[in-house]
Structure 1
Amino acid sequence: MQGYFGIYWTYPVPWLGFTRFDGVDHAARISRTIRYQRDIIRREVAALHGVLAAEAAFMENAPDRGTPEVAAEIAQAAKARPELVPVLVDFGQVLGWRRHPDLMRLMNDAGAHFAAPDPIFLAGVRFDPAAHFRDWASRWQDHAQRKDSHRQDVLAALAAAPHGGNAALAAYLNAEGLRTHTGKAWSADNLRKFRAKG
């Protein structure tokens, strides 16, 4: 019976604090995209009468594009299990704008099997990846458009802060729960750059 290696990947969402996960089970709990890929691939392997012998989840470095570094990391993981056929969901079949060219090239070279990104039910709710990613693109655009209002919120908080240098002010903003627009904690350095923009 052929063994398969399920490979799942997603983008980070730093402004929501989604920047890491610990293994496939944790990833599937906190990411619908990972959970979707896992379920699709498990169904695909069963339909192929194979066995899903290994799984791994990966997070991209960038929130808006696939990177060659993560593609190489995934390819290396697949190379470490040469007895298994890598299997991935090919979002590009219906979502050309989410295609990951570096990953697709390396996985094609590795003889990967690609599953179609069909809508399925997750926990009783229909999950359509095309609609899901359109919604995320819209949320990302809304977030980007709030950059000016976020800046005003930070400036107002700084105006109310006790006097101090950038390190003290960064600590103050963090304690107030006010992060950078990209969701990172403030540091003396990024606050200095923020204030230098006027």
Structure 2
Amino acid sequence: MRNAVGFYWTLPVPWAGFTELPKDIDEAAKASRTIRYQRELIRRYAKEHNLRLVAEEAFLEIKPDRGSEYVLDALRSAEKICREKNAQLLYVGFSEVHGWRGHGPLEAWVGRAGIDVDELYPDEIEVDGAKFDPHAHFGIWRKRQYEWSAKKQERVSLAKEEALKLRETGETYRDIAFRLNEANIRSATGKLWTEDMVRHLLHQAET
């Protein structure tokens, strides 16, 4: 029985509050349907091909709309485990279907990796008792991401209006950040407000 390492990745979704990924793989799978799908697909593949999964690594990208070279550190960590355990790396090749959810830096790394890497086709499978179709899932995600991006200026205007009102009542920048977050008034990127972000926002409103 040969050893294998599963590598799973996903994008953050700031507008849904998904900006962090637990280090524990099972907790990461609970936090992200995409990670959960990859974990299930690779675990099934390993079982069917008599592979022993000796490690599973999950990575959360830094931007909601693209893969980045930050993935290389995570891949080097997985590569080290592969070398130590004489294992092959398994990952899901999302871009195999209509070119969606591709990851240029990851795919370039695979092309020059000095270890055995197996790219799995993103088949539709049953996850948690229901069919999971990656193509349909990411199609919905892209639509919601587009809608979120289209309302960026609207979010900024609302935040400025509320922040100015609060500032006029004597609230500190820190208090304003707390109030905006409490009211679920998101920043342009979807991140929670901080004292410095509010200061910058109000400085822009004054110039």
TM-score (norm 2): 0.86
Residue of structure 1 in register with 2:33 after alignment = 32
Instruction: Report if the CA contact (8 A) 1:61-1:70 is conserved.
Output: no
Residue of structure 2 in register with 1:52 after alignment = 53
Q: Deviations over 1:57-95 (max 9, x none)?
A: 111122111111213322332223311101001111114
C-alpha separation in 2, matches of 1:72 and 1:104 = 14
AA partner of residue 189 (structure 2): T
Candidates 98, 101, 123, aligned match of 2:104: 101
C-alpha separation in 1, matches of 2:140 and 2:116 = 32
Q: How does 1:39-118 map to 2 (within 5 A)?
A: 39-82=40-83, 83-108=86-111, 109=113, 110-118=115-123
SS state at 2:8 partner? strand
Give structure 2 stretches of 5+ with no counterpart.
Answer: none
C-alpha separation in 2, matches of 1:154 and 1:170 = 10
Q: Deviations over 1:120-179 (max 9, x none)?
A: 111222111111111111000011112232223223322442224534433432343433
SS state at 2:70 partner? helix
AA partner of residue 93 (structure 2): D
Residue of structure 2 in register with 1:150 after alignment = 155
Decide which moves more: 104-113 or 31-40: 104-113
* Superposition misfits of 4+ residues, deviation over 6 angstroms: none
Residue of structure 1 in register with 2:130 after alignment = 125
Cα 1:7/1:135, change in 2 over 3 Å:
same
C-alpha separation in 2, matches of 1:48 and 1:138 = 36
SS state at 2:20 partner? coil
Give percent identity, aligned residues only: 35
SS state at 1:98 partner? coil
Question: 2:187 matched to 1:187?
Answer: no
C-alpha separation in 1, matches of 2:191 and 2:107 = 31
Decide which moves more: 1-10 or 51-60: 51-60
AA partner of residue 93 (structure 1): E
C-alpha separation in 2, matches of 1:187 and 1:46 = 46
**1:3 Cα shift?**
0.8
C-alpha separation in 2, matches of 1:159 and 1:61 = 30
Question: 2:181 matched to 1:174?
Answer: yes
Q: Deviations over 1:33-74 (max 9, x none)?
A: 011101110111122121112111111122111111213322
TM-score (norm 1): 0.89
Residues paired across the two proteins, number: 198
Instruction: Report if the CA contact (8 A) 1:20-1:59 is conserved.
Output: yes
Instruction: Report if the CA contact (8 A) 2:163-2:202 is conserved.
Output: no
Cα 1:188/1:120, change in 2 over 3 Å:
same
